[in-house]
């Protein structure tokens, strides 16, 4: 009965989102900024509790640094984000996207794992080979084991980490290089490893799916432990454009060519504290999900830890480094 009720509530919420999209589409005409504004206003009026995902600080460990400059909402003036957000919403009308934020169904994205130390879970990662997990460099203080499953409070497989390899230029030379490879003590053969996306696919991407175990409140302080998913628009796929006359690297705080920016999300759904290191997936033309990025931190323009958009490390730019680590054999 509980499962049936959950499905009914989810269906009702999806229908409400579709209604909001239709109303906003009609009222906004050809103005993408107005569409996004109307959509979020209509959705906010529903007064639902949200499921939020956002990158940044693990529950245990140092926070990724962030400039709290007065650029709040700057992404809302980025025409790339506004166009991609509208297209994402329209695809949701066709039933192919999840812009409201949901719990990952049982058996979904099994390669997405919780990362923690012996006392607490605090980050997220992705299985990219049977004994290799990729996560964020700033999760080093909470990375001695990983959890395979949908809820860390329930039964799942736990694999110990035998070696941690953080990027050698982590936070050096003015760049973040916010990645860490975890070599597991045992091979996990019953979970398919996730393929890393190719450069061409990431370059042309307009949106993707964020998955993680992170917190669910705007302050990023509560709710860690359940695997959730949400689709978000991409603003800058390679940190190479401009926003209101400023280079993306200044406006958003991303590293040129090495990272991408996604969000501020539709309906205030985004990655959150505890999703650090977790996967940002892209869907191929064949319908397969491939791994484009790892959640790193908030943008320079974000005022909240959660819900204002984030920066993701482009894994295609680091594939050679990952493959060079002794003991790593990528598929």
Average model confidence (pLDDT) for the chain? 82
The pair of three-digit structure tokens given for residue 214, joined into one six-digit string: 């992170």
Looking at residue 55, its pLDDT comes to 35
Q: Is residue 183 packed enough to be buried (19+ CB in 10 Å), middle (13-18) or exposed (0-12)?
A: middle
Of 13-17, 71-75, 269-273, least confident by mean pLDDT is: 269-273
What value, to the nearest 5°, has the Cα angle with vertex 81 and ends 78 and 82? 85
Residue with tokens 């002794």: 326
Residue 301 DSSP SS3: coil
Give the CA angle between residues 9, 230, 52 to the nearest 5°.
80
Rg of the chain in Å (alpha carbons): 18
Count of C-beta atoms within a 10 Å radius of residue 26: 10
Host H or E run for residue 242 = strand 242-243
pLDDT, tens only, 219-265: 444 456 889 888 899 999 999 999 888 999 999 999 999 999 997 65
| 252 vs 49: which has the higher pLDDT | 252
Q: Residue 231 in 3-state DSSP?
A: strand
Give the closest residue to 97 by CA, choosing from 107, 85, 109.
85
Distance CA 21, CA 39 (A): 6
pTM attached to this predicted model? 0.85
Residue 261's alpha-carbon distances to 75, 206, 254, 301, 306, in angstroms, are: 10, 11, 7, 11, 14
Q: Which of 20-24, 36-40, 197-201 has the lowest mean pLDDT?
A: 36-40
- The answer to whether residues 194 and 127 touch, using CB atoms and an 8 Å cutoff, is yes
Structure tokens at 266: 């539709």
* Neighbouring residues of 96: CB distance < 8 A, sequence distance ≥ 6: none
Q: Which two tokens stand for residue 153?
A: 């409070």
What does the pLDDT read at residue 9?
42
Question: Could you tell me which residues are beta bridge partners of residue 247?
Answer: 242
Beta bridge partners of 114: 124, 147
Outline where 101-182 has alpha helix (H): none
CATH architecture of 112-192: Beta Barrel (2.40)
pLDDT band at 15 (very low <50, low <70, confident <90, very high): confident
For tokens 């790193």, the residue is 296
* Residue 293, token pair as written in the block: 């990025």
How many whole angstroms separate alpha carbon 183 and alpha carbon 132?
A: 5
Averaged pLDDT for residues 150-160:
94
- The class (CATH top level) of 50-109+193-331 is mainly beta
* Residues 326, 277 contacting (CB under 8 angstroms): no
């Amino acid at each position: 009965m509980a499962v049936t009720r959950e499905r009914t509530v989810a269906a009702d919420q999806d229908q409400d989102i579709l209604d909001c999209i239709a109303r906003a589409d009609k009222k906004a005409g050809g103005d993408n900024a107005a569409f996004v504004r109307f959509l979020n206003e209509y959705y906010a009026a529903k007064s639902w509790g949200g499921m939020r995902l956002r990158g940044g600080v693990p529950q245990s460990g140092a926070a990724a640094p962030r400039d709290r400059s007065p650029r709040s909402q700057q992404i809302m003036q980025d025409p790339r984000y506004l166009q991609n957000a509208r297209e994402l919403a329209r695809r949701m009308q066709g039933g192919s996207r999840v812009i409201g934020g949901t719990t990952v169904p049982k058996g979904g994205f099994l390669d997405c794992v919780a990362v923690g130390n012996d006392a607490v879970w605090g980050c997220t990662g992705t299985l990219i080979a049977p004994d290799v997990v990729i996560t964020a460099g700033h999760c080093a203080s909470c990375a001695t084991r990983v959890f395979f499953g949908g809820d860390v409070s329930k039964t799942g497989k736990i694999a110990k980490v035998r070696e941690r390899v953080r990027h050698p230029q982590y936070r050096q030379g003015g760049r973040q290089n916010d990645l860490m490879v975890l070599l597991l003590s045992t091979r996990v053969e019953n979970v398919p490893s996730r393929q890393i996306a190719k450069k061409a696919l990431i370059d042309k991407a307009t949106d993707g799916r964020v998955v993680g175990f992170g917190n669910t409140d705007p302050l990023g302080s509560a709710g860690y432990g359940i695997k959730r998913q949400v689709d978000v628009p991409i603003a800058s796929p390679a940190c190479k454009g401009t926003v209101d006359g400023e280079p993306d690297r200044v406006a958003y705080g991303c590293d040129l060519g090495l990272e991408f920016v996604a969000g501020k999300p539709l309906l205030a759904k985004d990655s959150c504290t505890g999703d650090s290191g977790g996967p940002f997936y892209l869907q191929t033309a064949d319908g397969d999900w491939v791994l484009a990025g790892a959640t790193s931190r908030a943008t320079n323009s974000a005022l909240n830890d959660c819900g204002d958009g984030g920066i993701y490390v482009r894994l295609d730019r680091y594939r050679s480094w990952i493959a060079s680590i002794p003991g790593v054999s990528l598929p």
